[in-house]
Structure formats: structure tokens, C-alpha cells
Chain A
Amino acid sequence: MTTGRARPSRAARGGYRAGRTSPAWIAAFCLPALVLYGLFVVVPLGTAFYYGLFRWEGIRPAEFAGLGNYGEVLTRYPLNEEIPAALWHNVLFFAGTMAVQNTVGLGLAVLLYRNPRGKRFFQTVFSLPYLISPLIVGYIWSLLLSPTFGPINFMLRAVGLDSWARPWLGDPDTALPVLILVNAWQWIGGPMLIFLAALGGIPRELEEAAAMDGASPSRAFWSVRFPLLMPAVGVITVLTFIGCFNLFDLVYALGGSDGGPGGAMDVLGLLYYRTAFEGGTNAIGESSALAIMIFILVFGASLVLERFLRRREVTP
């Protein structure tokens, strides 16, 4: 980064006289972003790893523990039960979001693509909730879904579906599905717009060719258009995955920091927060170990996921 001389071949390929820039300019342009990002994003994660290697008493590191905290977090009650439960909820949430949010998003994108009339209006309305704070979304829905005075139950009763009315967020059986639906309600604009852009990028001739060969519209979709949507599917899958493990605000608003009735909505994000700020004397050691495990899981899985999905890409 410090030496400014580029290899001549590259400068020649570049077309303009690049590579002449002095190290001072390079530093002046790159350092502010590097310092900011390094100091407040990367260094804390490194520090978390370092914290995790010690056993803490309050805010003082008491002894070097190696990977002891990791073992402790995975085996000692209550974390040894909370971690698998929270992880399982994250997995269910990811699966549910892929199944509901992203398929409905694809469906809406296809509908809008085939019927461009009113496209702008619909795409704006559908993605309206996208900008709202997840916390506010959670509060809005907890008011709408509240057992006695909530409009949802009120409307169910009004149309004679009394038996359907229930404390949606207070019932461990419905809490997680409701969480998935509320989250999908908020973010559906994302996959819809990405799919719409991807559909727009596919040449029409391909489909016309398929139609001339006698393929039915649904067949043409699944065997011609869908494979070409794979890059979009890849981007959306990775984004959904990362978002799923960042889940915090929405669950906090819908179920509090304990994750709702019987922890039915407890997820890793909440669990990390509780371990760090409501934990015992070794809170720093344990929560840091937990943070590093979540980090490895998310970062590693995103890399693998991206590799895997890239290999399935087809170019028109």
C-alpha cells in the first residue's frame, strides 16, 4: 500500500496514466476510511476474540483461559440449552423467510414484470415498509396483534372466526411464525426489486424461442428464466442469511429481551445481548466466546454459500 509504483503492464492496460500517484496521495485518500472502519468495526471483533481467551471477574481479566470459555458456554447450564435453542430458531427463521418472503417476492416480481401497468405504484407500495425501523415495525404489529384490543383479532371476530382470534405473540406455537411473517412484511420489497431487475435483464428472445419450441409458459419460466435468475437468488440468499443472524430489534419489540413466551422467539442476537449485559461475573469472557462463534458461523457460511451459488450461475 505504501509503494506507489505500479507494474508497467498494468498502467499500459489501464489506458490512463495510473500508477504515477504518490504514496502520500494514496495514504491521504485511503487512510480516513481505513482508520474509521478498522478502528470501529474490525478492531472490536479482534478484541472480542482476545477477550474470549480470558476468564473475567467483572471488568477485570482474572486468568488466561485459552478456549475454556468456549467449552464453558457450550456445556454449562443455562447457555448449553439456550444456544442450541436460539440457533434452531435462527435456522427456522432463515428457512421460513426463504420460503415465505423470497418466494412471495419472486411471485410479485413476476406479476409486475408480466403486467407493467401500474408497476411503479405497486413496487413503491410493496416496498414502503422497507425503510421503517424494525423496532417500529415490531411495535406497530404488537399493537395490531394484541389479544383484546388489537384490530387483527377484532376483525377475525367480526367475520365470525372467533376461534382464530388468539394472543398471537403470547402463544409459543404462533410466536415464531408470526415473527417470520412480520419480518417478511417489512423486507419483501428487497427480493421483489432484485428479482424485477434480474427479470428485466433477461433477453425476451430466449423465451420467445422456448415458446416457438412449444414450451408452456410455466415450463418456459422454470427451464429458461429461472436458471438465469440464479445470480439474483444467490444475492438474496446471502442477504437473507446475514440479515437473519443480525436479527435483534424486531424480536426485542415483539417479545422483549427474553425472546417472547417461553423463549419461543429467542435468537442468537438476543442471546448475545443478554449474555453480555445481563450475564454473571464472567459475562465478558462468555459473551465474547459466543460472539466469535456466531461470527465464524455467519462469515464462514456466507463465504461458502456465495461460492456454492456462484458455481450454479448461468450466463445468457
Chain B
Amino acid sequence: MTTRRRNVRVLVVHALLWSYAAVAFGPLLLVAIGSFRSNADILRQPVGLPDSLDLGNYVRAWETASISTYFANSLLVTVAAVALCVAVSAMAAYALSRWRFRGRALLAAFFLSGLMIPAKLGLLPVFYMFQSMGLIDTRPGLVLLYAASGVPFSIFVIMGFMRGLPGELEEAARLDGANEGRLFVSIALPLMRPALAVVTVFQFAPTWNDFFYPLVLMRSDSKYTVPVGLTRFFGEFATDRATLFAGLVIALVPLALVFAFATKQIIAGLTAGMSR
């Protein structure tokens, strides 16, 4: 009797889990399937399987809609911004968690308060500052902006990680006469690797995805990143759903790759707030 009741419960739970899996994955599946169908077919019957495996939509999206350009820009900006952000954050977090100096707590609080600042509200001043610095419509401008806005979260995660790390190795190296820069590069950085991985993965997605800054700061089509490029693409191909679906799939690929390889880091980053 009890085993039967337990079986029924397990069945119900699995039914619930599978139905939410359908909700989560269904829409993405519809987009993926749609990207292989012809436009006429989609308009006639919005839900259905492709007649044949036709890659024409992808070719059209990639070539005529200059998604390849947007893609290259996004990759360049994202990689540079994440690298810069992780580098400066690792240094600052190391100093803040290993050295004692006056104003340390204040400086840490200053960085961490950025977690609660809606940075986008500074857009207009950023716009005029960029104008005076000649950074409007440039990719380095975007890189600086993204790197800066990632600093609070990165410092938060790396400091949290360092707190749980004993300082003995560094102390031994210090006794051996290594200077602080040497210590950081050859001892601390390798130890920090798990935290750096979390930060990298976690900065990658929002930077790759951001739409707000390039919408305002970028002007020439040749420098657009994927999200801004997509708004143009959607205007151009408004009636050609098949090509739109293919474009969406192309835009999703890098993140799908990140997700496939870094689920562990993503989960660690999402739950970073819990270790406080």
C-alpha cells in the first residue's frame, strides 16, 4: 500500500517535471524547427515539421543580413571586456582580501555597492563623456563600459572565494623572498582559477547579450553587436519568418556552447550570493 502510494507520488512528480521541461524547451524547439522550414510553409501552418533539411535560411541570414559582421563584433567586444574585467577585478579582490590597509573596508564597500546600482541610469552622462573622449561609435568604448560594469560582481565572487582559501602558500613564498607581483601571478592566480572561471562565464552572457548600450552608443552598421544588429535584421526581414528563426538560432549558438561547457560554473555563480 505504501509503496504504491510512493510510486504514484514519484509518477506525479515526474509528470510535473516533464511538463515544465516542455514549457522551458518547447519554444526553443519551435524556433529551431522553424529555422529549417520554408517561409510559405510556416505561414500556412505555424506548427509543423520541415519538409527537408534546408539550410537556405541560414545562408540567407548569415550573408545578406550581415549577421557575420555583428557576430565578429560581439565576439571581439565580449572577449576583450571580460578579459579586462577579470584581470582588474582579480587584482583588486586579491589586495582587498589579503592585505590590511587603511580604508580597505570602505573600498570594498564602494566596489560592492555597485551590485545594487542600476548602472544604466548613467547612460546619458556616459554618452556625453564618450563624445568628448571620441569613444562614440567605437568598440573600445563598449569594452571599457562592459568591463567597468562587471567589476562589482567579479570582485564580490573572487573575494568570497579568497576568504575560504588559506594564505599559507603565499606566506611561504613571501619568506622565500618573492615580491607581491610575483606572488600574485604565480601563487594566487592559479589558486583563484575556479572563481575566475565562474566570473568569466557570468560576465560573458550579459556582455554578449547587452542591447541597451550599443543601441545608444553605436551608429554604423559595421560596428553593431548581435543584439542591435538583430533589431535591424527584424525590421528588414519582418515578413520572412524562416530567415528570422535562422538568425535567432545563429545568435543563440555561442551561449549554447558556453552553457554546454560551463554548467557547473553557472550554478556556482548563481548561488554565489548564498555563501555570504
Contact = CB atoms under 8 A, between A and B. Distances in A.
A231 interface: yes
A131 B144 contact: no
A30 B96 contact: yes
A115 B10 contact: yes
A53 interface: no
Interface string B1-38: 00000000010011011001101110110110000000
Q: Most A CB atoms within 10 A — which of B144, B184, B216, B274? A: B274
A112 interface: yes
Contacts of A32: 87-88, 91-92
B73 interface: no
B43 A149 contact: yes
A228 B266 CA distance: 24
B27 A294 contact: no
B124 interface: yes
B232 interface: no
Contacts of A302: 116
A135 B230 contact: yes
A257 B21 CA distance: 32
B247 to A, nearest CB: 9
B248 A140 contact: yes
Interface stretch (B58-66, B191-199, B204-212): B204-212
A273 B215 CA distance: 11
Interface stretch (A64-72, A94-102, A219-227, A239-247): A239-247
Contacts of A139: 230, 234, 244, 248
A18 B258 CA distance: 38
A133 B92 contact: no
B221 interface: no
Given A125-B25, A141-B27, A43 B259 contact: no
A36 interface: yes
B90 to A, nearest CB: 9
A21 B124 contact: no
A298 B227 CA distance: 26
B148 A40 contact: yes
Contact of A239 (B20, B119, B251, B273): B273
Interface in A200-249: 201, 231-232, 235, 238-239, 242, 245-246, 248-249
Contact of B126 (A17, A40, A143, A231): A40
Interface stretch (A3-11, A79-87, A166-174): A3-11
B53 interface: no
B94 interface: yes
Contact of B121 (A45, A150, A189): A45
A207 B149 CA distance: 42
A150 B47 CA distance: 8
Given A135-B231, A248-B120, A40 B144 contact: yes
Interface of B: 10, 13-14, 16-17, 20-21, 23-25, 27-28, 30-31, 42-43, 45-47, 84, 87-89, 91-92, 94-96, 98-104, 106-107, 111, 114, 116-126, 128-129, 144-145, 147-149, 151-152, 155, 167-168, 170-171, 174, 180-181, 184, 205, 208-212, 216, 226-227, 230-231, 234, 241, 244-245, 248, 251-252, 255-256, 258-259, 263, 266-267, 270-271, 273-274
Question: Nearest 8 A-B pairs (CB), nearest first?
Answer: A44-B122, A133-B209, A40-B148, A47-B125, A33-B92, A6-B100, A29-B95, A1-B103
10 contacts: A2-B102, A18-B98, A29-B184, A30-B91, A32-B87, A108-B20, A131-B209, A133-B251, A136-B230, A144-B30
Given A118-B14, A149-B43, 17 more contacts: A4-B101, A16-B168, A17-B174, A30-B96, A33-B92, A34-B92, A37-B151, A41-B152, A44-B129, A45-B121, A125-B25, A133-B209, A149-B46, A238-B116, A242-B118, A298-B118, A299-B118
